[in-house]
Amino acid sequence: MKLSVSVDMEVKDGRSYLSINFPKQQQITVQETSHILAGAISLLIKSSSRGDKIKDYELIKEVIDHLNSEFVNIDSYSDAYVSKNMV
């Protein structure tokens, strides 16, 4: 089985607009998509120690801090939604 997930980001007026996309023919849940993206982030962070100036343990801390700040901020993603024809 092969699943595809892509992320687009556009910055307008100082705000980041994110879109998570996958082919409509795939039956994939939000939970499964979250795990795919978490695995991709883990792979990216572990591979960062192979050439980037930041160490993997420093980058994982930055990512976790970023996630925490998004969840604490009540305005973050207040306009987010999941399209039923996507999931």
Domain limits for position 54: 44-74
86 found inside a domain: no
6 found inside a domain: no
Q: Can you say how many angstroms the Cα of residue 81 is from the centroid of all Cα atoms in its chain? A: 15
pLDDT in tens, 61-72: 999 999 888 888
Q: How many domains does the chain have?
A: 1
Q: With bands split at pLDDT 50, 70 and 90, how would you rate the model's confidence at 42?
A: very high
Cβ-contact 7, 21 below 8 angstroms: yes
State mean pLDDT over 49-54: 72
3 found inside a domain: no
Size (the chain), residues: 87
Query: Between the CA of residue 74 and those of 13, 25, 43, what are the distances in Å?
Result: 20, 34, 29
